[in-house]
Structure 1
Amino acid sequence: MDDEGRMENYLKRLEPTEEVETESAQKRKRERSVVWDHFKKSSDKAYGICNYCGKHLKTAGNTSNLLDHLKRLHPSRMTADKEPMPKTMATFLNKEPFYGSDSNVKKRLDKKVMDMIVKDVRPFSCVHDEGFVELMQEAVPRYKLPSRTYFRDVMLPTEYDLLSLKLRAALEAVKHVGLTTDLWTSAANEGYITITCHFITENFKLTSALLSTAPLMTPTNHNAQNIADSISLMLAKWGLLSKVVTVTTDNDSTMKKACDILEFKHLPCLAHTINLLAQDILKLAAVNVIISKCKRIVTYFKHSTIATAKLKEAQNTNEPLLLIQEVSTRWNSAYAMVKRILQINEYVTLTLLKLRNGPSPITNEELDVLNDLSDLLSPFHEATLSVSTNTKVSVSLIIPVIAEIHHKMNQVKAQLRTQEGKKIYVVVQKRLVERLDSFETHTIPRIATLIDPRFKKDGFLRSSNAEQAAEALELELLSLEPTTPRRPPTPESTLNEASSKFSFLQNKPKVKSTRADATRQFMENENIPDTCDPLKYWEMTADNELKLVAKKFFCVQASSCESERVFSLAGQTISDRRTRLKPEVVDQLLFLNKNRHFN
């Protein structure tokens, strides 16, 4: 072969063949990082988005940080990729692969874990707790627990959005809602405002919902305008600005002014007002001295395990009672402390006499004062319990409850044992008029009491206020579309309930309406027992104007206790160990917890 032929063969060997090019392309394809089986690229290619927890990570030209994320938070995913097991071998070894991300079983289990976190107020980190992981591995071996970031960043917002749609549908179906709201400071020293709404459904069921627990629009400012703006923003989100009947809050002047700015009717919380009255009583010199002594005794037992053990031993029972400490911010706690001391004072005294350096026992004279104090505080305790509910109609109880307190005070007066007790009684009567009697002049509780078939005009302390309530009801009826009034039947199924909570009604002469209007037939019917449910009554009544009024006014809450309950739950959510939760996460967790009944 000549030189030219050898050169041609040499050049042919240097040229890549089609077969070589194909092998090279396949090799490059195989060299694509396994990371992209677990991540997807963002639209601008700058981030990788985790398929399991939704976290966004910068790619920075390589996949090292993505791989590190998988190794730290999703190691099982990497293991499954590196060591695939043939199906026949997996079956032989009884080791089925984990449920895939699209598996319906996995989705149901993920939701159950999310529900557990919400219902039991558990931290998201509980999914990494060794005991819980072992339990799930034993119970459902094929289920791989997702990371806490997946539950926080993916599951929580998804569940919140789904439940929000259900609540929105329920709220769109009602015309009127009552609100409660209050402010609260978390363990992280962050200010929150909570808003709850209450409404009567088409089938006359009282329903409650938490709308929001979030920081104020301007967190550093707690003035009335900022509060009003924050409430307005949240109500606009839910389409409720035109549906609010009234807002129930504590007696704080800023809250009242915020309602004025919003042009909403404001109702002071009856439970909070009663607590203020009780605090007035406890500040009296004759009361403060003995209450302070009771606190010292309780504190001594709370701080001494020996004293507590001896107190239990002295009672000689399988269920010994312990003393209760009074906390000024906790309603009725002073009454609870006094009642418990009176209940087990004999054993407390025997125990203190056996111990060195203990406080002095309560004397017989002091015991008589405590008995008088207990009798005087008892009606207020019962009243607080009556109105601190969100499952039963409470607004129509406000005026009858206050009337019952007056009635019981007159009974207690004749039973007082001590001069100190009689002095306390005089102050109680004065404060009772100052703090509570104004409720009978509020339009909302007036109309609510009047259309409650248990009370009507008989529920009022003063007949003049009952007449003014009837006039307010007439104006309310005129604002409604006219319908043909029908005689409302009395639910016979409930008339057998004979017990009564309101003794002042038993001897009260019945007042009949003389007006020839839509309320006459209702007023002239006999009252149903006060233990019956007024919602059941109106549910069974033929449609008329009064039924529409009942649905409007019975949604109002007599107390802001529901907001207080949310804050109690929030205190568990934002605990000392979980102070770094973002406000948005707190809001979503509380929303899911309090609105579970809409699922």
Structure 2
Amino acid sequence: MPKAKRSKVWLHFTQKDANSATCNRCQKTHACKGGNTSNLMKHLATHGVYLKAEQCTVFDKLRDAPSTSAAAAAGQIEESPSPSPVSVVDITDDDDDSSRSSSVTPFTLAKKAALPKEKVEEIHRKVTQFVVMGLHSFSTVESPSFREMTTALNPKYQPPSRDDISNTLIPAWYNVIKQNVIQQLAQVSKIAITCDGWTSVAQDHYLTVTVHYMHKGSIQQKVLSTEVVYEAQTGLVFLKVGCFAHTLNLAAQKVYGIQTVTRWCAKIRAVVVWLKRSTMSKTVLREKQRLLNLPEHNVILDVRTRWNSLNLMVERFVEQFPAIQAACLDQRLRRPMERDRLERLTESDFEKAEEFMQCMKVLYTSTLCVSSDKTPTCSQILPILTKLEAHYSAADEDNPFVAAIKEKVWGDLEKRYQDQDIQNFLQEATLMDPRFKGRLGVGVAEAWWDRLEKAVIDRLPTEEDPDGDDEVEEDQADRHPRGAHRMSALEQLFADEDRELLHTTMSTSSALSITEQVQKEIELYKGMPAIPSGQDPVAWWWGKRDTFPNLSALSEVYLCVQASSTPSERVFSCAGHAISQERCRILPEKANMLIFLQKNC
């Protein structure tokens, strides 16, 4: 009679003979001599299947409360004990020691002196959080210094091994947070996605997908996945808005093609490079900054691929020029060749620096505006472009230096976002932002309002629901459930008048067609004054959702869209530490877990 298989590994393998088994995923044959499944479990880890993590309950306390049906199912599952893997993660409870034996032995004393299961699991969670959130290597938990630290804190605690951290605790934590994110996104109907690519030091090309959505008056974002891809990412089925921050940087890079700007920047760059290379320059520069009461800032060297770095280099050089001039005259740094470099800068060059900063400062400020991930940024694109067009328009008093910069920068920007679908989307997004809807030209925006009205109607049901009144009444009942609100004496006195007022309001709204309701909302919205640019439009719409039920629902379509891929850029800043030169052999699946937990916890 064949021996029964109890391991869950056989759900993914088919036994070929007594000493080998075939993977159901990749059809590869692996040795399992004597029924040993360790080799098979290691192979499943390469496919992202971690059996130990599925049985680990350390992170169950972090799981969000499920729905009623899910909670009932969970209660049924908890009644039946599940098998536990043999690991340092598993701790046996000692509540039934007295029933097993009433005698006191060294073994029972040792069990009573051990840490409770709940305490061990709590410490396991903190250790895992330390490794993940600090982006430490998995081998940290096995280092002698870490073991000595945990022993000093609590001698009874046995830290998890590197294998437990990598293959059990982190995957278990990942599964819990992943289910929490799925539950949160199940309640969202409108989302926007930002994507960006990045190549690690191991020459693996990663693609990160970040989702953005509105929830209760605020913008939320979650990192969905960071996957290795080896093929082109086109995404032709999506309406794509190019990264506006990168577009601004491409326009700023056009000034490198102006000969007068290139020669002028070379003079400043030569001094900055010399200060960067000199080992004594930092000490001397700090002394001069303190003497001259200047901010103790370092000089900045421009990099063409870094956003607005040329403007930052010039701005910092002008700020620190008195200290730089005094440092170059110091005997510890004074050299004829370097002094000649500084003397090559004329008064005209400093005038050009002031003009350059005045021209390019607005690009830097615009980049900061659209790099936020807590406020809507897509609706800022057209207002910012309008402001840039006015800023870079040719003026009679412009000298050739300034005129060349304006021509190059705006000549590149005016070619962007010419696709008609993108134009329509950006125009509608601008109207849905209460910060900018009142700052548009009346003649220009009239056609935009007509298109916005059509967009609202298209997203509503074409036929009126005959049970609409019942749904409204149910909605009112949900907002004011029985027993939840005790009527005051004044409400009891005027209860009949309040019911009549509510009935009149509902009758008036139900008498209007869908088109008339939308037109009424748009006219009311157009008549309201614009809010200051510092206020949050998402919170504004959340507060007006009862006044503008149709428009507030449409605002979620536009205001969750990000104008730049900066959120994904920030993810790759984290990925650069997670997949560093020292740990470049980390598996892509583990890298995805680390980045997911780092950004979503």
**C-alpha distance in 1, partners of 2:600/2:161?**
25
Matched, 1:573 2:573: no
- Cα distance in 1, alignment partners of residues 450 and 323 from structure 2: 58
Code of the residue aligned with 2:550 in structure 1: it is E
Q: Is 2:82 aligned against 1:108? A: no
Letter in 2 for 1:425: K
200, 207, 215: which one pairs with 1:193? Answer: 207
Contact (CA 8 Å) 2:226, 2:592: kept in 1 or not? yes
Question: In 1, Cα distance between the equivalents of 2:124 and 2:405?
Answer: 59
Q: Does 1:452 align with 2:422?
A: no
* Pair 1:545-2:550 in alignment: yes
C-alpha contact 1:41 1:48 (8 A) present in aligned 2: no
Match of 2:358 in 1: 375
Answering whether residue 509 of structure 2 is matched by residue 530 of structure 1, we say no
Contact 1:376 1:425 in 2 (8 A): yes
Q: Which amino acid aligns with 1:481?
A: L
Match of 1:213 among 201, 226, 231: 226
Aligned with residue 335 of structure 1, among 311, 324, 332: 311
Partners of 2:272 and 2:127 lie apart in 1 by: 42
Please, what is the CA RMSD of the aligned residues? Answer: 3.2
Distance, in Å, in 2 between the alignment partners of 1:384 and 1:449 is 18
Letter in 1 for 2:207: I
Partner of residue 358, structure 1: 338
Q: Which amino acid aligns with 1:86?
A: P
Over 3 Å counting, the alpha-carbon distance change for 1:589 and 1:533 in structure 2 is same
Deviation at 1:481, TM superposition (A): 2.3
- Report the Cα distance in structure 2 between the residues aligned to 1:403 and 1:290, rounded to whole angstroms: 30
Describe the SS at the equivalent of 1:456.
coil
> Residue 542 of structure 2 aligns to which amino acid in structure 1?
E
Give the direction of change, closer, same or farther, for the CA distance of 1:41–1:559 in structure 2 (3 Å limit): closer
**Corresponding residue for residue 78 of structure 2:** none
Cα deviation for residue 160 of structure 1 reads 0.9
Q: Distance in 2 between the 1:310 and 1:330 partners?
A: 28
CA distance, structure 2, for counterparts of residue 132 and residue 215 of structure 1: 32
Query: Cα 1:319–1:378, aligned 2, differ >3 Å: closer, same or farther?
Result: closer
| Superposed CA offset, 1:498-545 (max 9, x none) | xxxxxxxxxxxxxxxxx9554111101122222211112111111521
Pair 1:271-2:216 in alignment: no
CA-CA distance at 1:429 after TM superposition: 3.6
Shift of 1:153: 0.7
Give the alignment partner of residue 289 of structure 2, picking from 303, 308, 315: 315
Asked if structure 2 preserves the Cα contact closer than 8 Å seen for 1:413 and 1:425, the reply is no
1:236 match: none
SS in 1 for 2:356: helix
Report Cα offsets for 1:222-249 as digits up to 9, x if no partner.
Answer: x3xxx2xxxxxxxxxxxxxxxxxxxxxx
| Partner of residue 431, structure 1 | 412
The aligned residue for residue 421 of structure 1 is: 402
Give the 5 Å matches for 1:298-309.
298-309=272-283
Cα offset, 1:413, TM superposition: 5.4
Calculate percent identity across the aligned residue pairs: 27
Q: Distance in 1 between matches of 2:197 and 2:583?
A: 20
Q: Which amino acid in the other structure matches residue 207 of structure 1?
A: Q
Distance 1:413 1:280, change over 3 A: same
1:149 aligns with 2:171: no
5 Å matches for 1:559-598?
559-596=564-601
Shift of 1:440: 11
Q: Deviations over 1:80-134 (max 9, x none)?
A: xxxx99269869xxxx85547xx11111111111111221111112212333222
Which has the greater radius of gyration? 1
Distance 1:42 1:271 in 2: 49
CA-to-partner distance for each residue in 1:408-441, whole Å, 9 max, x for gaps? 446x95886x542233233334334234687996
Asked if structure 2 preserves the Cα contact closer than 8 Å seen for 1:399 and 1:439, the reply is: no
Which position in structure 2 is the counterpart of 1:325?
Answer: 301
Partners of 1:98 and 1:144 within 8 A in 2? no
**1 CA distance for matches of 2:109 and 2:556?**
66
C-alpha distance in 2 between matches for 1:588 and 1:465: 49
In the alignment, structure 1 residue 400 sits paired with structure 2 residue 383: yes
- TM-superposition CA deviations, 1:122-149 (whole Å, max 9, x none): 1112212333222211112211111112
Structure 1 position 213, deviation (Å): 0.8
1:468-507 equivalence runs, <5 A? 468-481=447-460
CA contact (8 A) 1:402 1:436 kept: no
Unaligned 5+ residue runs, structure 1? Answer: 1-39, 58-72, 78-83, 228-257, 485-514
The answer to whether the 8 A contact 1:324-1:336 is kept is: yes
Q: 2:217 aligns with which of 174, 192, 204?
A: 204
Per-residue deviation, residues 284-338 of structure 1 (Å, max 9, x unmatched): 1111222233333222222212122111111125962110121222212222111
User: Matches of 1:160 and 1:195 in 2, distance apart?
Assistant: 17
Structure 2 counterpart of 1:240: none
**8 Å contact from structure 2 (residues 247, 413) kept in 1:** no
**Is 2:370–2:563's contact at 8 Å kept on the other side of the alignment?**
yes
Q: How does 1:64-79 map to 2 (within 5 A)?
A: none
Question: Structure 1, residues 215-274: CA drift from partner, whole Å, max 9, x if none?
Answer: 11xx2x3x3xxx2xxxxxxxxxxxxxxxxxxxxxxxxxxxxxx232xx210101110100
Partner SS, residue 442 of structure 1: helix
Q: 2:438–2:529: 8 Å Cα contact kept in structure 1? A: no
Relative distance call for 1:136 and 1:287 in structure 2 (3 A) is: same
Q: Deviations over 1:425-462 (max 9, x none)?
A: 33334334234687996222211110211221524xx6
Three-state SS of the structure 2 residue aligned to 1:198 is strand
CA distance in 2, matches of 1:441, 1:342: 40
The amino acid of 1:564's aligned partner reads: E
Which residue number corresponds to residue 13 of structure 1? none
Answer yes or no: is 1:391 the counterpart of 2:411: no
Runs of 5+ consecutive residues of structure 2 not aligned to the other structure: 1-6, 11-31, 45-86, 92-103, 469-517
The code of the aligned residue for 2:449 comes to: A
Q: Which amino acid aligns with 1:301?
A: L
**Match for 1:573: what amino acid?**
A
**Alpha-carbon distance in structure 1 between the residues aligned to 2:37 and 2:594:** 28
